Amino acid sequence: MATGRSTTTGRSTTTGRNRTTQTNATTRANATTHKNATTHKNASTHRKQIHLAAHFPGADNTTVWADPRSRSQIDFSSFEHLARTAERGKFDFFFLAEGLRLREHKGRVHDLDVVGRPESLTLLNALAAVTDWLGLAATVNATFNEPYEIARRFASLDHLSGGRAAWNVVASPDAFTGENFRRAGRPDRVDLDQGLDSARPGETPSTRAAEFLSTARELWDSWPEGETPKPVVHHGRHFSVEGRFGVPRSPQGHPVVIQAGDSGEDREFAASAADVILTRHGTLEAGRARYADVKGRLARHGREPDDLKIMPGVTVVLGDTAAEAQEKAAEIRRQQVSPQNAILALEQVWGRDLSAYDPDGPLPALDPVPESALVQGRAKIANAPQTAARWRALSEAKGLSIRQTVIESTGRQSFIGTPDAVAAELDTFVQSDAADGFVLVPHLTPGGLDDFVDHVVPLLQERGAYRTEYTGTTLRSHLGLRHPVWKG
């Protein structure tokens, strides 16, 4: 274990933990995971412990680019600052999303978005060298990769970080992204052209992802601790693997597996195979209903309620008074939904070029165009006509302009108030079984978590609902998850 912890300035002074041999690291991982799981259960008899993660923002209009404190989305120093801040706040993990193709708007690269970003696993391997405790989670697509390669890369990150790796498993039906992954001379590979194999009846992105993940776990389990690797023979619907895995069993056994999504299919996949599910944030009542539904699915997969952590993505705005916090939140929303972003949001719903419309004027009287390709690389609006009707009704009822309607209709900040009020509300959600923790999405890069760590974390600690020190060395230990049993 390292004898020093990283702070928000300077480089970690102790890197010995990351150089621990595989045998010692795995032994320690088993011991600390057992110890933390016991501590976690004992703590839960008094007060549930809140889990926190930090998301590095960028896509969509979350980040306020115009703020003078906003920094680069490319420079390593930005990622390092946010990761060090999260570690200073004793967060469970640092989370990176993934973009496999630049988003386009009207046939051109969308210049209101992040245009390019370093590859996530490469970044996390670099962050492993400047952090000592923080979990490191990357989103990697199961549609456009192969199980052996991804299993190898995450096992490597788990070794290099001393047991802190996590994989957010996603799959894509997006033909637009698939154009970056076509293989010459293989017209039969429509799964790579279209995001999934649409020629197979009943196929969904999740069926491929499920086999991808199970194959990766076969590979991780094929090398018993202290022995030589066993042969892997897998012949499935999507993948065929024969050979021996090239990386010894890593400190966590398996990296932590994350699933993002809130559909019934997403919840079932998480209940069967994930350690963490990332969901939307809503009211306390909606959170409790979601929590009960997801946790209730675990038993039929032979799992316990503590085997899956439910962590909605949230934003926080702090002020010295409630009124000041509300004022700051309103200003942030105005910055996030600029006039250009307001028209873009409208075009996503309407599927039309609406650049001639005044963002401070009324909504268009035109009907939406179904299945429009005006915007590429963004999540499709599920029911555009319904959404348009809802926006129109809101605009007419309150006399709102296009920009005001978008601000009112799209993502609001989740927790707004003084540090005391925010800490109390976060705690209420967890103690009421509406969440196990939260993924914080700051509006500034990279300093958007500084105030939260400085002013809210100490209050959560005073409540006895949040750790004052890390009690284990692996991400599984931070989350109170069991160490996987070898199934070779």
Determine the pLDDT at residue 173: 66
> CB of 45 within 8 A of CB of 463?
no
Determine the pLDDT at residue 452: 98
The runs of H, that is alpha helices, within 437-484 are 450-451, 457-462, 475-479
**Residue for token pair 């309407």:** 350
In angstroms, what CA-CA distances link 306 with 51, 135, 213, 301, 476? 13, 18, 21, 13, 12
Compute the average pLDDT of residues 455-477: 98
Asked whether residue 210 carries a pLDDT value surpassing 80, the answer given is yes
Compute the average pLDDT of residues 307-322: 97
Q: How confident is the model at residue 4 (pLDDT cuts 50, 70, 90)?
A: very low
Q: How confident is the model at residue 111 (pLDDT cuts 50, 70, 90)?
A: low
Q: For the chain, count helices (H), then strands (E).
A: 17, 15
pLDDT single digits (tens) 396-443 = 999 999 999 999 998 777 899 999 999 999 999 999 999 999 999 999
Q: How confident is the model at residue 249 (pLDDT cuts 50, 70, 90)?
A: very high
Determine the pLDDT at residue 309: 98
Determine the pLDDT at residue 384: 83
Identity of residue 194: Q
Tell me phi and psi for residue 318, to 5 degrees. -110, 150
> Any idea which of 183-187, 275-279, 319-323 has the lowest mean pLDDT?
183-187
Please give the helix or strand (H or E) that residue 444 lies within, else none.
none
CA–CA dist 15, 346 (Å, integer)? 49
Asked whether residue 343 carries a pLDDT value surpassing 70, the answer given is yes
pLDDT single digits (tens) 162-176 = 999 999 998 876 676
Q: How confident is the model at residue 216 (pLDDT cuts 50, 70, 90)?
A: very high
Could you tell me which residues are beta bridge partners of residue 316? 415
> Which among 151, 232, 152, 114 is positioned nearest to 488, based on CA atoms?
232
**Residue for token pair 């390593």:** 76
Determine the pLDDT at residue 197: 44
Compute the average pLDDT of residues 462-471: 98
Q: How far is CA 217 from the centre of its chain?
A: 21
Question: DSSP secondary structure string, 97-149?
Answer: ---SS--EETTEE-TTS------HHHHHHHHHTT-SS-EEEEEEESSSS-HHH
Q: What percent of the chain has pLDDT over 90?
A: 59
CA–CA dist 135, 16 (Å, integer)? 17
In angstroms, what CA-CA distances link 408 with 189, 382, 389, 390, 405? 43, 19, 14, 11, 5
pLDDT single digits (tens) 357-404 = 999 999 999 988 877 766 665 666 767 889 999 999 999 999 999 999
Determine the pLDDT at residue 35: 44
> Which among 304, 253, 301, 308 is positioned nearest to 486, based on CA atoms?
253
pLDDT single digits (tens) 12-53 = 333 334 433 333 434 444 444 444 444 444 444 479 999 999
Round the average pLDDT of the chain to a whole number and report it. 84
> Which among 368, 361, 367, 366 is positioned nearest to 395, based on CA atoms?
361
Q: What DSSP designation does 440 have?
A: E
CA–CA dist 151, 454 (Å, integer)? 37
> Which among 12, 113, 99, 2 is positioned nearest to 65, based on CA atoms?
113
- Radius of gyration (C-alpha) of the chain in whole angstroms: 23
Q: Which residue has the higher pLDDT, 124 or 63?
A: 124
pLDDT single digits (tens) 49-90 = 999 999 997 655 677 777 888 888 889 999 999 999 999 999
Q: How confident is the model at residue 454 (pLDDT cuts 50, 70, 90)?
A: very high
Q: How confident is the model at residue 485 (pLDDT cuts 50, 70, 90)?
A: confident
Q: How confident is the model at residue 203 (pLDDT cuts 50, 70, 90)?
A: low
Q: What is the pTM of this model?
A: 0.85
Please give the helix or strand (H or E) that residue 295 lies within, else none.
helix 284-296
Determine the pLDDT at residue 310: 98
Q: How many CB atoms sit inside 10 A of residue 347's CB?
A: 21
Determine the pLDDT at residue 37: 44
Angular region, 371: left φ>0, alpha ψ -120 to 50, beta rest: left
Compute the average pLDDT of residues 194-198: 44
CA–CA dist 457, 476 (Å, integer)? 21
